[in-house]
Amino acid sequence: MRVLSGKRQYLDAMGIDVWSVRPDNPAPVQPSSGHSPMPDLVKAIGAAPEPAKKAPAPKQDPAHESPVAAEVPQFRFALLHYGSLGVCVSLSESDSLPRRFCDDLARVMGAEVDSVRYQELKWPMLNTSGIDQSVNAAREFVTQKFRALPSRVVVMGEDVAEYFGPLRDLGAEPKLVGNQSYLMIPSMAQTAASADIKRSLFLSLVTWRETR
């Protein structure tokens, strides 16, 4: 039996004890919002966005990678134009041109020694990074110069083949490349040190001269 608070105060003042009945299973206190906050919290956690996954770094196109400094070759070639015969001699930085030997080659081949024209091909051409001086550029440069030589060309020094492709598989016999015929011979140092090389070279030149 529930007694209102005002009436209970009145009876207490008269000296009458008042007993109030407490229910056996009191109803749970309900939150003011009318529902438990836990489900909402669980929902909020479940609805929270997952941390963004870090995207993998894009692969760089090799074509756009920072270029590595290209290797700059070094060589020094002397070109002599004897009218009907061309001679190419590979020289080191300190070598002098074996002009007398080259003139002797031209005489054996029946070329015009007195009308010789001389040109030196030196690489790199300039000590600057502003122009292409790579191996490919050097090969293109040498190839253009060789194309301007006479129909027969004697090449002294195997390293010349690195910059003029047709000479790479050249044997002891002359080789026809387009409208030009090339003969590869040993270097000046090898030729000067061997009488057999000189003799063999002379015979090769005579045979080549007689071949028309």
What share of the chain in percent tops pLDDT 90?
51
User: Between these two residues, 182 and 13, which has the higher pLDDT value?
Assistant: 182
Query: pLDDT by residue (tens digit) across 154-177?
Result: 999 999 999 999 898 877 889 998
Per the structure, the complete domain to which residue 158 belongs is given by: 75-210
**pLDDT for residue 64 is more than 70:** no
Q: Which of 212, 119, 190 is nearest to 201 (CA)?
A: 190
Q: The pTM is what?
A: 0.65
Averaged pLDDT for residues 193-211: 92
Residue 76 bridge partners (DSSP): 122
Does any domain span residue 40?
no
Does any domain span residue 61?
no
Does any domain span residue 96?
yes
With a CB cutoff of 8 Å and minimum separation 6, the contacts of 164 are 139, 142, 143, 146
Is 164:146 a contact under the CB 8 Å cutoff?
A: yes
Residue 119 bridge partners (DSSP): 79
Query: pLDDT by residue (tens digit) across 172-185?
Result: 889 998 899 999 99
Q: Which of 178, 146, 150, 182 is nearest to 164 (CA)?
A: 146
Does any domain span residue 95?
yes
Does any domain span residue 119?
yes
Total domain count, the chain: 1
Query: pLDDT by residue (tens digit) across 33-62?
Result: 555 555 554 454 455 555 556 566 556 555
- CA 72 – CA 133 distance, rounded (Å): 6
Does any domain span residue 186?
yes
Does any domain span residue 48?
no
Does any domain span residue 20?
no
Averaged pLDDT for residues 7-32: 55
